[in-house]
């Protein structure tokens, strides 16, 4: 096994370089090879008084797999019986989530099959770049497995970002997969209720030729806003267009709930956005591709 940096996540070349118990768990998953295209080991770490387990992420051209070891610490070997693993084919995968909150990062992959719930990998955001690239790789494989989306090319539809707040301009550059064309986008402000409670975070919906990208602020703990600078991070959800089955709006007195239903094989999931009423029409236009 390669000498692994026990402080931060490390990109590995082969499963032989990973902790043996976790590598064995990955090998048992469908579609895995000894040399995955993407292989990242993250040691366990503690952030904000929360302990995060060690993980091993493996991506091939057709499948993904994750092994979690809750019995491994930075200064001791793996404890027997503490490694769990799950995997799926990309053609049975719904969406990819990437959350960045201070030093606490999360990559979630939602796959169909026996383990249809999202499988979450935690990582220290010092190494955000390699997980962001892993998210892009997974998304590209999901899109390729789903086949052409039928979306018209957007080369003759220039989009200006001048109207976006700086944080969302930065998010467009940081979280849009390389090579994608931005077809349309819309952003909306946070909604604050009584007692300074955050009802709905500021967010942006982006449409490319292949997916919808939802970028929302990660709000303060407890949802209470006490000042103008409350953006602690981002939650980014990538939704391939061919996974979206329906977009439905449910108007309310203060907010519109927009539900995006997604499905693949025997797994269905929905994502609900809470949107200010005056922004609803524009958000739905981006979601369904009429803007």
Q: How far is CA 36 from the centre of its chain?
A: 20
Can you give the pTM of this predicted structure?
A: 0.87
Tell me whether residue 205 is exposed, middle or buried, using C-beta atoms within 10 angstroms of its C-beta: 0 to 12, 13 to 18, 19 or more.
buried
Q: What is the predicted pLDDT for the residue at 223?
A: 45
Q: How far is CA 217 from the centre of its chain?
A: 14
pLDDT tens digits along 40-81: 999 988 876 778 899 999 999 999 999 999 775 544 454 555
The Cα angle at residue 128 between residues 188 and 165, in degrees rounded to 5? 20
**What separation in angstroms does the CA of 89 have from each of 29, 61, 131, 202, 207?**
10, 9, 19, 33, 25
Is residue 181 scored above 50 in pLDDT?
yes
Is residue 29 scored above 80 in pLDDT?
yes
CATH fold match for the domains 10-146 and 166-288: yes
In CATH terms, is domain 10-146 a member of 2.30.29?
yes
- Alpha-carbon span 55 to 276, nearest angstrom: 39
In CATH terms, is domain 166-288 a member of 2.40.10?
no
- Give residue for tokens 């976006």: 164
Domain map (residue ranges) of the chain:
10-146, 166-288
Element (H, E) at 215: strand 211-217
pLDDT class of 216 with cuts at 50, 70, 90: very high
Helix residue ranges per DSSP H, the chain: 20-27, 128-146, 166-175, 280-288
Please name which of 166, 95, 100 lies closest in space to residue 129, comparing C-alpha atoms.
100
Is residue 197 scored above 80 in pLDDT?
no
pLDDT tens digits along 154-166: 443 445 566 788 8
């Amino acid at each position: 096994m390669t000498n692994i940096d026990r402080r931060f996540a490390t990109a590995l070349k082969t499963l032989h370089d990973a902790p043996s118990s976790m590598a064995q768990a990955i090998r048992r998953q469908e579609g895995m090879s000894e040399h995955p295209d993407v292989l990242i080991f993250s040691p366990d770490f503690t952030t904000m008084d929360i302990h995060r387990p060690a993980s091993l992420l493996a991506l091939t051209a057709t499948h993904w797999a994750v092994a979690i070891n809750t019995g491994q610490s930075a200064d001791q070997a793996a404890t027997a019986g503490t490694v769990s693993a799950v995997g799926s084919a990309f053609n049975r995968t719904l969406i990819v989530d990437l959350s960045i909150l201070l030093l606490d990062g999360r990559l979630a992959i939602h796959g169909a099959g026996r383990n249809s719930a999202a499988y979450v990998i935690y990582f220290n955001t010092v190494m955000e770049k390699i997980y962001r690239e892993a998210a892009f790789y997974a998304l590209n494989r999901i899109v390729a497995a789903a086949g052409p989306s039928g979306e018209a090319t957007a080369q003759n539809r220039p989009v200006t970002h001048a109207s976006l707040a700086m944080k969302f301009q930065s998010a467009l550059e940081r979280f849009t997969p390389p090579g994608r064309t931005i077809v349309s986008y819309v952003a909306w402000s946070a909604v604050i209720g009584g007692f300074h409670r955050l009802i709905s975070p500021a967010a942006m919906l982006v449409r490319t030729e292949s997916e919808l990208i939802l970028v929302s602020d990660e709000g303060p703990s407890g949802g209470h806003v006490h000042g103008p600078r409350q953006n602690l991070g981002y939650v980014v959800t990538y939704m391939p267009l061919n996974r979206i089955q329906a977009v439905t709006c449910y108007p309310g007195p203060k907010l519109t709930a927009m539900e995006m239903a997604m499905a693949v094989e025997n797994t269905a999931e929905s994502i609900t956005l809470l949107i200010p009423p005056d922004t609803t029409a524009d958000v739905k236009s981006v979601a369904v591709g009429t803007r």
